[in-house]
Structure 1
């Protein structure tokens, strides 16, 4: 692609909107995953007895196992949230950008 096309894309209002919305969503979702994961790791490192308690009387499964599994599941769900926006709103903005730039 030529530099002219790149310049036209960057000057298009839809490009700015797309970059801003996609970046904000990516930051929020990444922060949620990182905070939950590193928060869990901090509890494991500095207060392991909190997660080491059994789920019930006489049980060997601890509280930490379902919490760890929930963090993984939430990460998958957040990936689905990003895919929803990427295939919806972001796709529409990209198509508008391509259509307007090609003119």
Structure 2
């Protein structure tokens, strides 16, 4: 592939749209995960006694619940990423490959 071909691909509207959608998806999900993790770190740093408090007098603590919530949110965000990649990014990528192969 020549440098001119690569430049034509970079200027293609579908390529520009693909890059923008991927960047938007990556940055937004990364930001959400960072907020979740840093929120947990700040909770540990400034209110460690909160994590050890029992929920309804049982063995389950606030810290366990927060940990479970973080893991569930990580799986949910991963599932959302896979859904968006399969339904938005991959079709756009295939369309771009077909148009540029001509």
Cα shift at 1:51: 1.8
Moved over 4 A (4+): none
Structure 2 match to 1:24: 24
Which aligned pairs between 1:72-87 and structure 2 lie closer than 5 A? 72-87=71-86
Cα shift at 1:100: 1.4
Structure 1 match to 2:48: 48
Unpaired stretches in structure 1, ≥5 consecutive residues: none
- The 2-side partners of 1:61 and 1:5 are apart by 60
Unpaired stretches in structure 2, ≥5 consecutive residues: none
CA RMSD of aligned residues (A): 1.2
Cα shift at 1:13: 0.2
Cα shift at 1:60: 2.9
Structure 2 match to 1:60: 59
Aligned residues: 102
Determine helix, strand or coil for the equivalent of 1:88: helix
- The 2-side partners of 1:22 and 1:69 are apart by 28
TM-score (norm 1): 0.90
TM-score (norm 2): 0.91
Greater RCO, 1 or 2 (C-alpha within 8 Å, sep 6+)? 1
- The 1-side partners of 2:89 and 2:31 are apart by 20
- The 2-side partners of 1:97 and 1:36 are apart by 35
